[in-house]
Structure 1
Amino acid sequence: MRPRRFLPSMKLLLAFDAVMRHGSITRAAQELDLTQSAVSRLILSLEKQLGKDLFQRTGRKLVPNTIAHRYQNDVARALDIVQRSSMGVVANPDGGTLSLAVLPTFASRWLGPRLAEFLKTRPGIAVNLSTRLQKFDFADEAFDAAILFGPSDWDEVHAVKLFDEKLTACAAPDYLRQFAVRGVQDLANHSLLHLESRPTAWRDWMGAQGDVDVDHQGMIVDQFSMMIQAAISGLGIALLPDYLAQIEISEGRLAPVLRQAVPVSGAYWLIWPEGRVQDQALAAFRDWICGQGGG
């Protein structure tokens, strides 16, 4: 038996979640298609059921206290789990569902073109994708697994390496015809495009080219897709994972600079929490993606 006091109704939790997300009763009421007074009553009912105040009342405003912020972390995650599970029942009632967090450009340029093969061989499994750029705690996110980039320092999760990182510098063909690059030292005269999450990438690449580090200032972006577009537009030289660079090179949008596919530190990993070890959908996906080879 689950004590009723500690299982607020979905209506109460949705009202609480909306108020916390919007910071406004008015906007929460608009989202829930309720009146402001109805939302206020739902919040009062939740506080009464829990026996704890969640907000301070200042006029018509509700100001969340420390308890509310802590409670919201768990409530939001629980609602995400219920939503994802319900979507899986509707979209794929006969098979398993895998909720996967992925790097955005990796998802669109590497995983996406290959995923149809997996879904064809395992028609009973549905894969839901959401993008994440950085590490996160599975306790705070409703994901079954994630594909992320980094060193081999994943804590309290299971991890399998997919492939090591290899980087290729690229620029628009017209850019290179105008500004030739014959050696690493020439890069000091160019704008180098940087990825926000990989601040040492150019330094590592230059070292692997067998030359000393040179001044490498330039534009900073937060996704490889933006870096690719900036390079195509002639804004500088991009440093791309080789699996991305080869797509752009083969289609003539970019051309390589100096030695290609230079090994550097870091790798792509499939990671999953302890509680998902026996998940059949995850096991099937893990076996398939590990068989895809390197980038």
Structure 2
Amino acid sequence: MLAPRRFLPSISSLLALEAVDRLGSASAAADELSLTQSAVSRQLKAVEEQLGVALIQRDQMRLQLTPAGKEYVETARTALQQLAQASLKLKANPSGGSLQLSILPAFGMHWLAPRLQDFAQRHPEVTMNLSTRLKPFDFGTEPFDAAIHFGQRDWTGVNYLPIMREEVLPVCAPALLPAKTPKVEWLVDAPLLHLDTRPDAWERWFAAQGTPVEGVRGMLFDQFSTMIQATIHGLGVALLPSYLISAELEAGRLVPACAAPPVSLGDYYLVWPQSRTELTPLVSFRTWLQGQLT
């Protein structure tokens, strides 16, 4: 049940309050909202009178929100963003529904994207909207229904559907490979490339080989795609998922840096918030995804 009407200011008043907080003046807010300055002032006065709380500190140079107003406008801003996202979803697919999915760029491009045509054919009523996020986030403040997560089951407040285990192996350009048969030990002093979302990957890989090392350093990348190109061009040795580099290995652009077996550093999961009612598009996608894993 919604709160009583007296506790719900109009959207126009909330938009005016949010704009004044962000822009610092009624005139700037009026320009952005295509209103007159006096209209913005009336909206601010209306929300203060309705709530019975002073929200604005007025001086000759700038409008500022009171501490209570600052706290209130943060909640209002989130609600306005969520309402805008809901409107966009409805406009994009008024008859079926949409799924806002957060993806990891490499997994989304190489594993998920080639399979999505099948989902689109089976569920034409669902509009898929994909956006990239590299790290876990708060489902309460982000406009996503579900996300692709890599690592362990360490994202609190979500349900998990395991997708696949990732195996990584050290690879490099052929010219970087030692003349003698390469062993694990040569990598300790080799130029190593790192992914910033997996800062301990090399330490974990060395430990799995029985050669523990600490404080491994080297070039840092934020995405696998860039790191793969850097590896091909001889900038160092990278730990890369086998599913991403099969073509490069087959073509000889990359070679194994040693004869060590692949190592798993984590799994891919579909996650979705436990606190929300599961909408039909999410159920359809999850059921389809489970079918892809059999």
TM-score (norm 1): 0.83
Distance across 2 between alignment mates of 1:181 and 1:48: 79
The answer to whether the 8 A contact 1:15-1:28 is kept is: yes
Farther-moved stretch of structure 1 (253-262 vs 238-247) = 253-262
Unaligned 5+ segments in structure 2 are none
The answer to whether the 8 A contact 1:205-1:262 is kept is: no
Q: Check 1:16–1:5 CA distance in 2 against 1; reply closer, same or farther (3 A cut).
A: same
**For residues 1-295 of structure 1, what are the structure 2 equivalents within 5 Å?**
2-21=3-22, 28-29=29-30, 31-34=32-35, 39=40, 41-174=42-175, 176=176, 182-213=182-213, 216-250=216-250, 253-259=253-259, 262-293=262-293
RMSD of Structure 2 on Structure 1 (CA)? 3.1
TM-score (norm 2): 0.83
Residue 245 of structure 2 aligns to a residue whose secondary structure is helix
Farther-moved stretch of structure 1 (35-44 vs 56-65) = 35-44
The answer to whether the 8 A contact 2:101-2:131 is kept is: yes
Q: Check 1:19–1:172 CA distance in 2 against 1; reply closer, same or farther (3 A cut).
A: farther
The answer to whether the 8 A contact 1:187-1:214 is kept is: no
Give a deviation string over 1:26-50, Cα, whole Å, max 9, x none: 7655543456665455444433333
Q: Check 1:39–1:278 CA distance in 2 against 1; reply closer, same or farther (3 A cut).
A: same
Give a deviation string over 1:235-262, Cα, whole Å, max 9, x none: 2222222222335435655333235772
Distance across 2 between alignment mates of 1:221 and 1:25: 43
User: Per-residue deviation at 1:150?
Assistant: 2.3
Distance across 1 between alignment mates of 2:277 and 2:246: 35
One-letter amino acid of the structure 1 residue matched with residue 55 of structure 2: L
One-letter amino acid of the structure 1 residue matched with residue 226 of structure 2: M
Give a deviation string over 1:172-218, Cα, whole Å, max 9, x none: 344x3588881222123322111222111111122223433376310
Farther-moved stretch of structure 1 (95-104 vs 75-84) = 75-84
The answer to whether the 8 A contact 2:184-2:260 is kept is: no
Distance across 2 between alignment mates of 1:8 and 1:283: 35
One-letter amino acid of the structure 1 residue matched with residue 234 of structure 2: G
Q: How many residues align?
A: 293
Q: Check 1:28–1:248 CA distance in 2 against 1; reply closer, same or farther (3 A cut).
A: farther
Distance across 2 between alignment mates of 1:4 and 1:218: 59
Q: Check 1:107–1:41 CA distance in 2 against 1; reply closer, same or farther (3 A cut).
A: farther
User: Per-residue deviation at 1:124?
Assistant: 0.5
Unaligned 5+ segments in structure 1 are none
One-letter amino acid of the structure 2 residue matched with residue 192 of structure 1: L
Residue 205 of structure 2 aligns to a residue whose secondary structure is helix
User: Per-residue deviation at 1:152?
Assistant: 1.6
Distance across 1 between alignment mates of 2:158 and 2:113: 25
Farther-moved stretch of structure 1 (114-123 vs 54-63) = 54-63
